[in-house]
Amino acid sequence: RKEVEQDPGPFNVPEGATVAFNCTYSNSASQSFFWYRQDCRKEPKLLMSVYSSGNEDGRFTAQLNRASQYISLLIRDSKLSDSATYLCARDRGSTLGRLYFGRGTQLTVWP
């Protein structure tokens, strides 16, 4: 059983579209969840942290559903510059220091 599961995509959407990614997890004790963005061959960079039910930052909205054990990322009004791989991550609950990352979802926004 994978600890964090993501649909690898690829998602190909036109500029201006709204796109959503889901990430399911298996440990209900996890407290901290994250979305990272990774450009090709570059390091991951934090996009959003999700500590409670969710949060919003401009065109990006992250939500946490503890009952169904998933987090989601919604991107509105997609830009060409949003093309990247999006990684979700979670802590390991009671085991401090260890993080699980999903395999990433690839997004391509076309003009």
Partner 1 sequence: EAQVTQNPRYLITVTGKKLTVTCSQNMNHEYMSWYRQDPGLGLRQIYYSMNVEVTDKGDVPEGYKVSRKEKRNFPLILESPSPNQTSLYFCASSLSPSGADTQYFGPGTRLTVL
- Fill in the amino acid letter for 89: A
Q: Is residue 32 close enough to count as binding partner 1 by CB under 8 A?
A: yes
Question: Which stretch in 13-21, 39-47, 56-64, 67-75 sits in contact with partner 1 by CB under 8 A?
Answer: 39-47
Q: How far is the CB of 13 from partner 1 (least distance, A)?
A: 22
Q: How far is the CB of 38 from partner 1 (least distance, A)?
A: 9
- Fill in the amino acid letter for 92: R
Q: How far is the CB of 43 from partner 1 (least distance, A)?
A: 4
What part of residues 54-83 is at the interface with partner 1 (CB under 8 A)?
none
Place of tokens 């039910």: 53
- List 13, 54, 70, 103, residue binding partner 1 (CB under 8 A): 103
Strands 84-92 and 11-14: unpaired
For residue 94, the SS3 value is coil
User: Which residue from 18, 53, 20 is spatially nearest to 6, judged by alpha carbons?
Assistant: 20
